[in-house]
Amino acid sequence: MRIFYNETTGEWYREGDVITRPVENGVFSGIPSIEQLLSWGFVERGEPVPTPEERMAQAKRKKIAELEAYDDSDAVNSFDIVMEGKTMSAWIEPDKRSNYRGSLEDCELLGVTDIEVPIAGMLIPMTVADARVKLAQVQLYADRCTIVTEGHKYAINALDTVEEVEAYDFSTGYPEKLVFNVNAL
């Protein structure tokens, strides 16, 4: 798609758009030919240069999108499981945490004391009490990460220049990842 600009009038025109403008014998309204555009003083240009406000809004949207991708990544959404000297990364999504919480309550109600928890493609045996504690730790970690992410969003939106937004490091302030030693469960 071609873009045209008229330096005299400050108008931008995107090829294929309808334009209404005065002409010698009245008013033209429609999709002009390239020849018409050139005769009206338009020259072909690249994309319109955004205003400073548009640049700032774009920079903030881009930085927040990067932050959200980081927040969804293993850099934030993971914990480590150490088993037999090997470290594996895992995560339990919020819906599964909720389901596990309900299952653990049911186990306690029914007097079940031991359970196998599916994590990182393994079934890890542990007591129901230990599973509740570990699940609570994961939930608290996730909540703290959410608070940090929201704080970064607020900070990004409060910045005053595009340069500050682009330089902003949102990878800071997150809590230390949890490490669970399976042998110690």
pLDDT at residue 26 tops 90? no
Q: How far is it, in rounded angstroms, from Cα 78 to Cα 92?
A: 8
Domain match, 70 and 16 both:
no
Same domain, 149 and 172: yes
Does pLDDT of 33 surpass 60? Answer: yes
88 and 135 in a single domain? The answer is yes
Contacts of residue 125, Cβ cutoff 8 Å, sequence gap at least 6: 114, 115, 116, 117, 185
User: Which residue intervals of the chain are DSSP H helices?
Assistant: 34-39, 52-72, 94-110, 128-158, 162-167
> Whole-number mean pLDDT of the chain?
92
**Based on the domain organization, do 121 and 39 belong to the same domain?**
no
φ/ψ (deg, to 5) at 3: -120, 140
| pLDDT of res. 185 | 44
Claim to verify: residue 176 and residue 104 sit in the same structural domain? yes
In this prediction, residue 111 has a pLDDT band, given cuts at 50, 70 and 90, of: very high
Taking the model in full, what pTM does it have?
Answer: 0.72
The better pLDDT of the pair 17, 47 is held by: 17
pLDDT at 85: 86
131 and 101 in a single domain? The answer is yes
Strands 79-83 and 42-45: unpaired
**107 CA to centre of own chain:** 37
Residue 154 has pLDDT above 60, yes or no: yes
Choose between 99 and 183: higher pLDDT: 99
More confidently predicted of 152 and 25: 152
Same domain for 89 and 147, yes or no, is yes
93 and 175, same domain (yes or no): yes
SS3 136: helix
pLDDT value at residue 46? 77
Torsion from C-alpha of 159, 68, 137, 129, nearest 10 degrees: 160
Indicate if 99 and 76 belong to the same structural domain: yes
Identify which has the larger pLDDT, 20 or 171. 171
Same structural domain for residues 15 and 36?
A: yes
Find the farthest-apart pair of alpha carbons in the chain and give their distance in angstroms, rounded: 91
Quote the domain boundaries for residue 86: 52-184
78-94 pLDDT, tens digit per residue, is: 999 998 889 999 999 99
User: Mean per-residue pLDDT for 57-80?
Assistant: 94
Lowest mean pLDDT of 7-16, 44-53, 144-153, 169-178, name the range.
44-53
Q: Are residues 74 and 21 located together in one domain of the fold?
A: no
Q: How many domains does the chain have?
A: 2
Paired sense of beta strands 79-83 and 179-181, if any: parallel
Do 92 and 159 have their domain in common? yes
Give the rounded percent of residues in the chain with a pLDDT score beyond 70: 97
pLDDT at 48: 67
